[in-house]
Amino acid sequence: PGRMSRYTHTCVLRLLLVCVAASSSGSVRVSAPRAVSPLEATSRERGISPLLGWLDRRLARWRRRNRPKRIILVRHGESIGNVNSSAYSSTPDSQISLTERGFEQGTACGREIRRLVGNGSVRFYYSPYLRVRQTLLAILQAFEGQPVEIASEPRLREQDFGNFQDPLSMSRLREDRMKFGRFFFRFPNGEAGTDVFDRVSDFISTLFAHFDSGERRRTADNCVLMTHGLLMRIFSMCYFHWTVSEFEQVWNPSNCEIWVLEKV
């Protein structure tokens, strides 16, 4: 949520004053609104401006206090599709599993995350794709004996490339994507980067609505997003307000690479 408008601030202030009046007298009388001159309205605006500024500062401090210490982005471990692209021609993308090396990467990644967060509370949001769920299971070995929260989040899934993927066709499509622009190119029967941007933006709105809901006990100290390479870049694009040209200068992280956004 951004800065409240002055009109909204005025409405909130009036509501607060009505509540105070009601609590002190036991009742409140609401009279019909009285027309005021522009000069009188300007005078009133100047009179409450300091109070509106105070409300702004209090709201900013309250939001900061409610938000997690860290948002940690993690790509899944090495998958069969990473070492053999023909796997996508017979196995749905959502069912591509990790290699043995991918499981080892997940275990090492879990130790690194545990070292980073210590005994702080952790909430994991994960893509429902098999390779991400397997990576999460490997990571959770490092949290044995420590309670954590986990939540499946379909908006963190991989970009949809269009059902089963023929290797030769995909090779040509990726060449076309480089010519057309990686962000705007749409795969047949699949998504463009713009579609992924839309769902990630929606997820971020949901995430911060949760942080700012006022239920502090429900906000973990560490928020870990288990996802895919493109999703990590798109999340950063949304969060840091990258331009399209800035986004297209960034490439996918390595398997089980960790990006940490830390509150300072």
Each residue's pLDDT tens digit, 123-137: 999 999 999 999 999
Q: Is the pLDDT of residue 19 over 50?
A: no
pLDDT greater at residue 59 or residue 107: 107
Cα–Cα distance measured from residue 225 to residue 106, given in angstroms and rounded to the nearest whole number: 14
SS3 (DSSP) at 121? coil
Cα–Cα distance measured from residue 238 to residue 256, given in angstroms and rounded to the nearest whole number: 21
Q: Is the pLDDT of residue 5 over 70?
A: no
**Over the stretch 55-105, which tens digit does the pLDDT of each residue have?**
777 666 666 677 899 999 999 999 999 999 999 999 999 999 999 999 999
Determine the pLDDT at residue 30.
47
Question: Among all residues, which ones are annotated catalytic?
Answer: 76, 158
Cα–Cα distance measured from residue 25 to residue 202, given in angstroms and rounded to the nearest whole number: 44
User: What pTM value is reported for the model?
Assistant: 0.77
Q: What is the percentage of the chain residues whose pLDDT exceeds 90?
A: 69
Determine the pLDDT at residue 188.
94
Determine the pLDDT at residue 49.
74
Q: Is the pLDDT of residue 196 over 90?
A: yes
Mean pLDDT score, 229-249: 97
pLDDT greater at residue 230 or residue 11: 230
- What is the Cα gyration radius of the chain? 24
Cα–Cα distance measured from residue 192 to residue 188, given in angstroms and rounded to the nearest whole number: 9
- Residues 6 or more apart whose CB falls under 8 angstroms from that of 208 comprise 1, 67
Q: Which two tokens stand for residue 263?
A: 């509150």
Q: Is the pLDDT of residue 35 over 80?
A: no
Mean pLDDT score, 37-55: 66
Contact between residue 76 and residue 131 where contact means Cβ atoms under 8 Å apart: yes
- Residues 6 or more apart whose CB falls under 8 angstroms from that of 155 comprise 199, 200, 202, 203
Torsion angle of alpha carbons 19, 20, 24, 28, nearest 10°? Answer: -40
What's the pLDDT band for 213 if we cut at 50, 70, 90?
confident
Cα 95 to chain centroid distance, Å, stands at: 24
Determine the pLDDT at residue 50.
76
b vs e for 186-198, b when ≥16 Cβ sit within 10 Å of the residue's Cβ?
ebeebbbbeebbe
Quickly count: other Cβ atoms within 10 Å of residue 116's Cβ.
15
Q: Is the pLDDT of residue 214 over 70?
A: no
C-alpha pair distances (Å), 67 with each of 8, 14, 21, 206, 220: 23, 28, 33, 13, 8
Q: Which residue has the tokens 């047949």?
A: 188
Q: What is the percentage of the chain residues whose pLDDT exceeds 70?
A: 78
Q: Is the pLDDT of residue 219 over 80?
A: no
Mean pLDDT score, 37-48: 62
